[in-house]
Each structure stands twice: as C-alpha cells, then as structure tokens.
C-alpha cells in the first residue's frame, strides 16, 4: 500500500455542490484525516461557495442543464495538463468521462483514474427535463455504453450494492453511509418534522408543502436547496409561515438541526432512479434518532422496516403522511422505541466512521496498482527501445 501520509489526490466535480455531503463531508474529510494531500477542482464560484483551508482548491465552471460544454472543456483542459501530478484522480460526475486523460497517458504517469458511481445515471436521464423526451431513450443507451467504456479503462467505486448488476466485473462498494453519533441525542422531542436534502418535485417537495398546510401544531422544516420547478412554491409557503425553508445549509450544520425533531421525511416518488438507491437522508434521520416517514421505494422500505425505525406510506398520499406524524406525536413511547432501534441499526450497518477506512484502503489499492502499471509500462518501453 502507498503510505497514507504521502498520497496525492485530485477530486473533481463540475455538477455537484462543492460541499456535497459524500464528496466533501465524508470522502475529502476522511482523506485529510488520513494525511493525504488533496486538491479539489469544483464549481466554487458558480455555487457561491468559498474554498476551505487545508485543501488546494481549483474553481471550475458548473455543468447545468444544457449548459455543459464550457465546464467539460475546462475540466478536460485541467485534467490533461495536471492529472499526471497525482497518485489518484477521483471523478464524481459521469459527464467527466468525456474529460478524462487517455488511458496510456495515465498509465505512463502511474495515476489511478477513479470514477465514483453514486447515481443510476441511465435511469436518471428519464428525469432530466432539459433532455427532450424523444432523446431520453437514446441518452440512456449512450450512458450504458459510457459505463461499459469506463469499466474497461478506469477504476470504479460503487456507492450502492444495487449498482453491481450494471457492470460486467466486480467493483468495490463504498456505501453512501453517514457519520453516526456514538450516542443518540438526548434533547427533548420538539413538535417539528424535518426534511434534509435537495428539494425537487420528484423528491416530494410539493407534497411536503401540502403536509405542512394540513398539520396542526407541528412545524415542517425543510433544509436544502431547491430546483427551479419548486422554488417559487417553497418560497411562497415560507413567506406565508406555512413551513420553514432553510435553503442550503452545510451538511454538518444541517445534520445538527435533526436533533430533537419528531420525525424525518423522505417522500420520494416512484421513479426508476430511486428504485435501487438508498436515500442518504433516511440513514441520517436514523443516525440522529428520528423515526422515518417514507414512501415505499424498495431500498427505503428495506432499511426502515428491517430496523423497525419508521412508517411507510403510499406514494403521493399526503393524508397518510399527516396521519403517521400525528400517530408518532400521540405515542411518545412507541416513537422513542423507533428512534432507539433506528440509531442502533445506523451504528451497526451504515456508519461512515467505519466505512471511511474501506474507502481509504480502496484508493490506496488503486494507487498501488497504477504504480505497478507505470513500472511495467516503462519496462516494456525500455525493452522495445
């Protein structure tokens, strides 16, 4: 293994918020704690984020909707000129597959180019309103071809066990787990339910506004940025005092807001992209001792019901959500038991404090493999010369 205090890593995204929970709060923090030298290329200015101390930051344009070419050109130029300086290049967007340096160049440099797969990209294409409907099937097929190409030429990390079947060969799974407090928060339970994460129509933003209007003596607090399709409705509801919309809040601050809430909401719609993805928000709720009120996506149901840590409601069933929240408030003992079971399950199965070690070991194995490739490449070049 390459010593941890000597590994040089370049992390790149042109899509995600630079302070994305998996990228910044889990992976980069784990690398810094391990002594890695980290350079982070991300759209800081586009998101209005300031670079943080301890990390060398490179500002890239943001890929958004159909406006992606400028960001990809900038990323491609940067990667071509600088990737050979690093032991590992960690890519977080499928878009960046169009920007990676050639395989032979990476092998000569001994650089491990890694794609962290944390979305079912082909399924997600069907939810991209900026892609014309008639082109979505073609786009999904193109994504599958790109995934096959990446599997042959790059190292892959999968964020979900459900992604394994998309690929021909086995790849390490580094779960999208969460940092679990060692003890469940002891604050008194407040008449407040929370949602943490990006707010979109497909993630139940409009249903949560309706829930807030129907609830009596329980506040709904929404924490996260919103897409344009729901932002106006959220802003209006917040202005009316129907709910509290906090907008973007850094993950460590946002998760602290979970403590003491009555329950956590995860009202995802019945979409293919959610069928095999484990909602991180569900795990964060459990980690902070909140019962979960969730729609019946398969992975959510498996997590919540196996731990007996919440209530499953039907898709688009606002009345059932309100009933579940009222039921939790009316049964403090039952709610507390759900909270304890959820926290225990999170500590046992979904704790990033443990999974971080697997993540670091995986990067080091990739770096060591690429270092061997470099030696073999140079040896063959010498022999041919």
Q: What is the pLDDT of residue 124?
A: 57
Three-state SS for 197? Answer: coil
- Both 145 and 219 in one domain: the answer is no
Same domain, 263 and 344: yes
Residues 168 and 33 in one domain: yes
Do 170 and 200 belong together in one domain?
no
Do 357 and 327 sit in the same domain of this protein?
Answer: no
**Residue whose C-alpha is closest to residue 269's, from 246, 295, 290, 289:** 295
Q: Residues 343, 357: one domain?
A: no
Residues 367 and 269 in one domain: no
- d(Cα 83, Cα 104) in Å, to the nearest integer? 13
Number of domains in the chain: 2
Residue 216 lies in a domain: yes
- Can you tell me whether residue 12 is helix, strand or coil? strand
Kindly state whether residue 220 falls inside one of the protein's structural domains.
yes
CA atoms within 13 A on the CB side of 306: 13
The answer to whether residues 20 and 146 belong to one domain is yes
Residues 184-206: pLDDT tens digits? Answer: 877 789 999 999 999 999 999 99
- pLDDT at site 322: 98
Where in the sequence is the domain holding 101, given as residue range(s)? 4-177+352-384
Q: Give me the sign of the Cα torsion angle 278, 280, 286, 287.
A: positive
pLDDT for res 374: 63
Looking at the structure, do residues 311 and 204 belong to the same domain, yes or no?
yes
Low-confidence ranges of the chain (pLDDT < 50): 1-2, 382
What does the pLDDT read at residue 271?
Answer: 84
- CATH code for the domain of 204: 3.40.50.2000
Residue 106 and residue 20 share a domain? yes
**Domain-embedded: residue 299:** yes
Same domain assignment for residues 75 and 198 = no
């Amino acid at each position: 293994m390459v010593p941890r205090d000597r590994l040089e890593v370049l992390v790149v995204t042109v899509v995600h918020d630079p302070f994305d929970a998996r990228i910044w709060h889990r992976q980069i923090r784990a690398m810094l704690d391990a002594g890695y030298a980290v350079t982070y290329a991300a759209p800081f200015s586009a998101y209005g984020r300031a670079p943080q101390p301890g990390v060398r930051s490179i500002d890239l344009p943001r890929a958004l909707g159909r406006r992606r070419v400028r960001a990809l050109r900038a990323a491609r130029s940067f990667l071509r000129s600088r990737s050979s300086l690093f032991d590992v290049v960690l890519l977080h967007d499928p878009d960046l597959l169009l920007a990676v340096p050639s395989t032979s160049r990476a092998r000569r440099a001994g650089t491990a180019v890694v794609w962290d797969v944390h979305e079912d990209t082909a399924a997600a294409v069907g939810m991209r309103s900026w892609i014309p409907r008639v082109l979505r099937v073609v786009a999904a097929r193109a994504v599958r071809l790109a995934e096959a190409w990446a599997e042959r030429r790059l190292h892959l990390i999968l964020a979900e066990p459900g992604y394994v079947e998309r690929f021909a060969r086995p790849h390490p799974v580094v779960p999208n787990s969460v940092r679990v407090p060692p003890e469940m928060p002891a604050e008194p339970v407040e008449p407040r339910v929370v949602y943490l994460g990006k707010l979109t129509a497909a993630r139940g933003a409009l249903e949560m506004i309706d829930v807030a209007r129907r609830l009596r003596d329980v506040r709904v607090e929404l924490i996260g940025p919103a897409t344009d399709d729901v932002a106006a409705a959220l802003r209006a509801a917040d202005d009316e005092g129907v709910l509290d919309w906090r907008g973007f809040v850094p993950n460590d601050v946002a998760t602290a807001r979970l403590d003491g809430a009555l329950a956590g909401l995860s009202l995802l719609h019945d979409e293919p992209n959610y069928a095999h993805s484990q909602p991180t928000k569900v795990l964060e709720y459990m980690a902070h001792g909140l019962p979960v009120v969730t729609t019946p996506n398969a992975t959510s149901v498996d997590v919540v019901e196996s731990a007996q840590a919440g209530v499953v409601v039907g898709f688009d069933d606002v009345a059932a959500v309100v009933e579940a929240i009222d039921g939790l408030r009316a049964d403090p003992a039952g709610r507390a038991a759900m909270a304890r079971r959820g926290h225990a399950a999170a500590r046992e199965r979904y704790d990033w404090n443990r999974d971080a070690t697997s993540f670091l070991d995986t990067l080091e194995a990739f770096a060591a493999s690429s270092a061997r490739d470099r030696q073999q490449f140079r040896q063959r070049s010498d022999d041919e010369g």
